Amino acid sequence: MLYLVGLGLADERDITVKGLEVVKRAERVYLEAYTSILHVGKDKLESLYERPVIVADREMVESSSDEILEGADKADIAFLVVGDPFGATTHTDLVLRAQELSIPVKSIPNASILNAIGATGLQLYNFGQTVSMVFFTENWKPASFYDRIRENASIGLHTLMLLDIKVKEQSLENMARGRKTYEPPRYMTVMQCAQQMLEIEEEKKVHVYAEDSLAIGCARVGADDQQFACGTLKELCNIDLGAPLHSLVLLGKRAHELEKDYIKKFAVNEETFEESWKKYHGRNQ
């Protein structure tokens, strides 16, 4: 059996009892290590799980899936995924490859940013499509996500933005020269996301969101030191929420008064919070 085991969002203790039972009896244990991160290293996982953990980078998962699946028709193989196996990132390619080889597959669910974002106080029913924001470069500023943000906003729904991470990435020069030299890991911050969001708004000139639109910056959701900051996009361009991982929520106009009462405690500035709420949301109450 191939088991896809959700690890939750914070540390080695977030694994479920069912997931831990699978890990302890598995012949091999892999940790998917390129779509998200825990706040602890694999040594912490190995200590609690009492098993060696093999780090599976993007190249291994996408190009060497046979290595992961080897022997899974005769023994249990555990593939660990931060969050939920089928949450923000799906591993359908690996599952389909297993099915082609007649290897049974089972997933063990866990908390994902898609439901843990409720810790902001926003109602999950009021969220629309989730989007991803990637790092811009001087010559590459993809904005394919913008249409989904606009669709969400058109019916008053919040938008959860998942922020880019770069792990084991190669520079263009090293790729061209065939050198296996990797850049240091990078994790997008709320500050960078807010800045890029306003850049896109300026280029699109549609202005779904503006400098004074409310958003919530989120850091390390699910961890003991999780942090939220609610402010205008302009204010969030200058907010340092510390270590990764970060995400950002754009408030929809259907935001409820109960949501307001909850998120107000995260306000960067209560005066600008009230002004923006009245401008964009007050008329819906």
CB neighbours of 171 closer than 8 A, spacing ≥ 6? Answer: 181, 183
The answer to whether 2-111 and 114-281 have equal CATH topology is no
pLDDT in the model for residue 229: 98
Q: Which two tokens stand for residue 146?
A: 């913008």
pLDDT in the model for residue 285: 45
3-state secondary structure of 154: helix
Question: What is the residue whose two structure tokens read 């009021």?
Answer: 126
Domain ranges of the chain: 2-111, 114-281
Specify binding-site residues for S-adenosyl-L-methionine. 9, 84, 87, 112-113, 163, 221, 246
Report the largest interatomic distance among the alpha carbons of the chain, rounded to a whole angstrom.
63
pLDDT in the model for residue 37: 87
Question: What is the residue whose two structure tokens read 């408030």?
Answer: 251
Specify binding-site residues. 9, 84, 87, 112-113, 163, 221, 246
Q: How many CA atoms lie within 13 A of 275 on its CB side?
A: 9
Pick the CATH number of 114-281 from 3.30.950.10, 3.40.190.10, 3.40.50.300, 3.40.630.30: 3.30.950.10
Closest CA to 112 of 16, 221, 242: 221
Alpha helices (H) along the chain: 17-25, 42-49, 58-63, 65-69, 92-100, 113-116, 146-154, 172-176, 190-204, 233-236, 257-263, 270-280
pLDDT in the model for residue 58: 75
pLDDT (tens, 9 = 90+) of the chain, 285 residues, equals: 999 999 999 999 999 999 999 999 999 999 987 778 898 999 999 999 999 999 988 778 777 788 999 999 999 999 999 999 988 666 888 899 999 999 999 999 999 999 999 999 999 999 999 999 999 988 889 999 999 999 999 999 999 999 999 876 655 565 566 666 667 889 999 999 999 999 999 999 888 999 999 999 999 999 999 999 999 999 999 999 999 999 999 999 999 999 999 999 999 999 999 999 999 987 554
How is domain 2-111 classified at the architecture level of CATH? Answer: 3-Layer(aba) Sandwich (3.40)
Separation in Å, CA 221 to CA 8, 13, 116: 10, 15, 7
Closest CA to 84 of 117, 126, 61, 132: 117
Residue 160 and residue 124 in contact, taking contact as beta carbons nearer than 8 Å:
no
Closest CA to 16 of 105, 110, 115, 83: 110
Q: Which two tokens stand for residue 250?
A: 């754009």
Separation in Å, CA 17 to CA 7, 24, 130: 11, 11, 29
